[in-house]
Amino acid sequence: MSTPPLKRPIIGIVAGDPNGIGPEILVKAWASKALHPGCRPLVIGSTPVIEQAIRLVGAPLLVRSLADGVALPADCGDDVGRIDVLESAAFPVAAIHHGQDTAAAGAVSGAWLDHADRLARSGVLAGTVMGPISAKAMDMAGVLSSIASHKPGHEAAYLLLRSGALVIAHLTDHLPLREVSAAITRAAVSTLIGKLAEAMALWGLGAGRIGVAGFNPHASGLEEKNEIAPAIDQARAAGIDVDGPISPDSIFRHCIEGRYSAVIAMYHDQGHIAIKTWGFAGNNVVFLGPPYPHTTVAHGVAYDLAGTGQADHSMIQNAILNAASLAAGRGFY
C-alpha cells in the first residue's frame, strides 16, 4: 500500500538584510535540494539580490521573477533548480554593501517582512521565514517591521526556541532584568500558557504537558505566589495540562527527560542559556502569536562573512523546514 504524498505548503522566505549573509545562505539551502520534499518555497524580495547571491555562492540555479498582485503560478516553488522570487520592494545590486549597516537595507528588510506577513494573513502563504536582519539598519531607516519587532500584526508575540526535546517559550525577551518582575503578571502568564497550548495542538505537537518556570531561586517569591501560580490554576481550570511554578534550576532538565513537552521561561537568558547549552547548533526559533508559523534563525547578519559565500546555511534550512512541517501539522521537523 503506497504512502500518500506529504502536504507541501507554500512557505514565504525573506532572506533578511541584503548586506548580510541572508541571501547567500538562502541560496545554499535551496541548492541543497532539501527544501522541496516538504514545501514549495517562495522568496519574498528582489530578484537582483538573489541573483547576486547565486553568483557569490556559485550555485547552478536560475531565477524566475513573479509579479506582485498577480496570482501565483500553479508550479510556484516546484522547480528545485529555479528560485521563484515574488517581487516586493526593489533593491538593486548597486545598493548592496556587504558588511555595512545602511538605511536602505534596513528599509527594504522591513518592507519585505511586512509584505510576507500580509501574504500569510491573506492565506497566500502557509508560513513564513525571516532571514537574519540588522536592527541597527532598520533603526537607521526609521522603520520597525511588525514581524521583526516580535509583535506581528495586532497580537502579542512570544519567542519559542527548540533544540531536540527541549522546547522553551519566553514570557519576555529583550527586557532589562530590573523590568522583568513587573512584566510577570497573572494575565501575561495566562495568555502565554493559552497561546502555547493552542499552538501545540495546531502544529501537530499534541496536547502535551507544559511546565512553567519560576522567576526566583527555587520558585519561591512574590512573583510565583501572586502572579505565576494563580495563572497556572486558571489554565488548569480551562483544561490545560500545565505544571508549576517549578524551580528554574531543574525544569529544563525535566523537559529534556520528557516530563514536559514545553517549558515557559520568564525572561531571555533564563531560556536562552538552557537551550544554547543543551544544543546550540540544532536550535530553531518560532514566534508564538501570528495565526501562521513564523520561524527565523538564531544568528545575526554575520557581516564578517557577508559577500564571501562561506556562511553556514544549516540554520535557515532548518527554519524553512520547520515552518513547512508546522504549517502542515506534522510537528517540528
Reading the block at residue 231, the C-alpha cell is 495563572
DSSP code, position 228: I
Q: How far apart are CA 51 and CA 46, in angstroms?
A: 9
Is beta strand 294-296 parallel, antiparallel or unpaired with respect to 166-170? Answer: unpaired
Average pLDDT, rounded, for the chain: 91
| Residue 144 burial (10 A CB sphere; 0-12, 13-18, 19+) | middle
* Cell output for 224: 510565583
Give the three cell numbers for residue 60.
547552478
The pTM of this model reads: 0.87
pLDDT confidence of 3, banded at 50, 70, 90? Answer: very low
Residues 247, 250, 253, CA angle at the centre, nearest 5°?
Answer: 145
> Domains in the chain, ordered, with CATH?
10-154+289-327 (3.40.718.10), 159-278 (3.40.718.10)
DSSP state for residue 6 in the 8-state scheme:
P
Using CA atoms, how far apart are residues 239 and 98, in angstroms rounded to an integer? 51
Bridge-based pairing of strands 10-14 and 262-265 is unpaired
Higher pLDDT, 246 or 281: 246
- pLDDT above 90 as % of the chain: 79
- Is the model's pLDDT at 155 over the cut of 90? no
The number of angstroms, rounded, from the C-alpha of 129 to the middle of its chain's C-alpha atoms is 6
Of 208, 220, 196, the residue nearest 289 (C-alpha): 196
In this structure, what is the dihedral angle of CA atoms 39, 44, 48, 49, given to the nearest 10 degrees? -90
**Residue of 15 and 3 predicted with greater confidence:** 15
